[in-house]
Amino acid sequence: MNITAHSEFLKLKRVALKPAKKAFVSDDLLEEQWLSHNYLQKPDFNTSLKEYGNFKSIFINEGIDVECFQFDERVTIDSIYCRDASLVTDFGVILCSMGKNERKNEPAYQRKLYEKLNIPILAEIDPPGTLEGGDVAWLDKKTLAVGHSYRTNESGIHQLKKILEPMGIKVLVAQLPHYRGSQDVFHLMSVLSPIDTDLAVVYSPLMPIHFRNELLERGFELVEVSEEEFESMGCNVLAIAPRKCIMVDGNPKTLEALISKGCEVHIYQGNEISLKGGGGPTCLTRPLSRSY
């Protein structure tokens, strides 16, 4: 069986998660941190545990191996969005350097799980470079798209290229817009979710023209998300196999569009774990390996 980390849509074999209980910890911690971390509202702790249990069960029921990041007092409630602190490649893990200062300890924290799983650490992004996992997405096995955003800067992108280009990986840069400014969470994967070799969910109004044209030239058909469903995370869709995906409840137009393209879609309630903190199913997961 051919196994790779260089895909966003092949059959997911192994994934790392940070359970809500290990990230949010308690209602008291949420009360202490939610406002300073720019959440829309304070998540309800007990409801978040129920939502996360249902979210995690999707992976279990699909036979996907689940690894879990554990509690660590050095990281914050944002660590539930575990995609951002690392990038997994076929050559090993690249530990990121966080653009949000409150999350600066997460890459070193994630290292512990990778070492436990005997997954080698390929490299680390060093300050002043910043790179967050939500800004990177594999378009194919040899092409990695990276968003230049408030969370991922030129130095981080330069370091990423220096690491991967000698290994035959093309790093394709997408210049992201200002949108709501440096305090908002806005990643490349806020406007892009590859679902299959030739299908991607996008929010075109905030997508760089050159990058959008690149997707079309590569043969991607684009599922366009409406303005109202962009706000409710309709563009944040996690593929667990080609045209088999997970999305947060409350986006009926995008759901219908995906089904019309032959997709099977799992829905989860994510008011507490996704909508309030700005992190959908791609943000809540760090895929480790997929199979052809």
pLDDT digits (tens, 9 = 90+) for 122-139: 999 999 999 999 999 999
Q: Extract the residue ranges of the chain whose pLDDT is less than 70.
A: 1
Q: What is the pLDDT of residue 172?
A: 98
Contact 87, 93 (CB under 8 A): yes
Q: What is the pLDDT of residue 184?
A: 85
Q: What is the pLDDT of residue 199?
A: 98
How far is 243 from 179, CA to CA, in rounded Å? 29
DSSP state of 276: T
How far is 51 from 281, CA to CA, in rounded Å? 12
CA Rg, the chain, in Å? 17
Contact 134, 173 (CB under 8 A): no
Its pTM surpasses 0.75: yes
Q: What is the pLDDT of residue 1?
A: 64
The tokens describing 41, both together, are 């509202």
Residue among 3, 201, 207 at smallest CA distance from 89? 3
Domains, in order of start, for the chain: 3-291 (3.75.10.10)
Phi, psi (degrees; rounded to nearest 5) at 89: -125, 170
Q: What is the pLDDT of residue 183?
A: 83
CA 188 to chain centre: 9
- Straight-line distance from the first to the last Cα atom of the chain, in angstroms, rounded to the nearest whole number: 7
